[in-house]
Amino acid sequence: MDTKHFALHTGSRTFEAAGFLRRSGADTIMIQRLMKEDLSEYIAKAEIIKHAKMVYGNIALAVTDPGSKTSQMMIAQVADTLLNMTDVVASFVISERPDGLIGISARSLGRMNVQVVMERLGGGGHLTNAAVQLEGTLGEAEKRLTNVLAEIEKEEGLFE
C-alpha cells in the first residue's frame, strides 16, 4: 500500500515479498474489498481536488473552503491523489483540521524535496512525504507556503 502501486519505495525485496504472498495464496479480490473507499469520503476528496491549481508549472496546490474541517489523514490522501495527475511532480493540500489547526500535507515524486519546504514552515518529513500544522487561517497558511516556495525557487530552484 505504501509503495503507491509499486511506484515508490520499491526494491527487489518488495517484489519478492509480493511474489511470496501470491504464491502462498493471497486473495487479491479480498484485498480489493478491504481497500474499497466510502462514497462520501470519495466525494469529499473530489471536492478538495476541485479547488486544486497548478503553480510553478508542476506543483498542484489545493486549499479547502474555510470552515470545512478535514482530517490529517484525508489531507494526506488528497495530496497522494494529486500526484497521479498529469504533469504533477509535487502536491500541497491545505485545510482546517478538526482540532482547529491548519494542516498542510506535501507529497512529491522525488524531483522536489518537500521535507525542506515543510521544515521551513516548522514541520518535517521526508523527501517525498512531509507535513506541518500551523496556527492561523487558511489564507495565512497558503501565503506562508507560497512565500517559502518563492524563496526556494530564487535560492536554488524547486526541482532537481
pLDDT, tens digit, 9 for 90 and up, residues 56-89: 999 999 999 999 999 999 999 999 999 999 999 9
The CATH number fitting domain 39-155, selected from 2.40.10.170, 2.120.10.30, 3.10.310.30, 3.30.70.120:
3.10.310.30
Scanning the structure block, which residue is given the C-alpha cell 530552484?
Answer: 157
Helix, strand or coil for residue 141? Answer: helix
Inform me whether the pLDDT recorded for 2 exceeds 60. Answer: no
4, pLDDT greater than 60: no
Average pLDDT across the chain, whole number: 91
Q: What is the pLDDT of residue 8?
A: 60
Question: Domain-by-domain residue ranges, the chain?
Answer: 39-155
Lowest mean pLDDT among 23-32, 72-81, 112-121: 23-32
d(CA 87, CA 19): 31
Q: In the chain, what is the straight-line distance between the N-terminal and C-terminal CA atoms, in Å?
A: 26
**pLDDT above 90: percentage of residues in the chain:** 75
pLDDT value, residue 106: 98
Instruction: Give 124 or 20, the one with higher predicted confidence.
Output: 124
Cell of 144: 506562508
Whether residue 114 contacts residue 127, with contact meaning beta carbons closer than 8 Å, is answered with yes
- For residue 7, what pLDDT is reported? 63
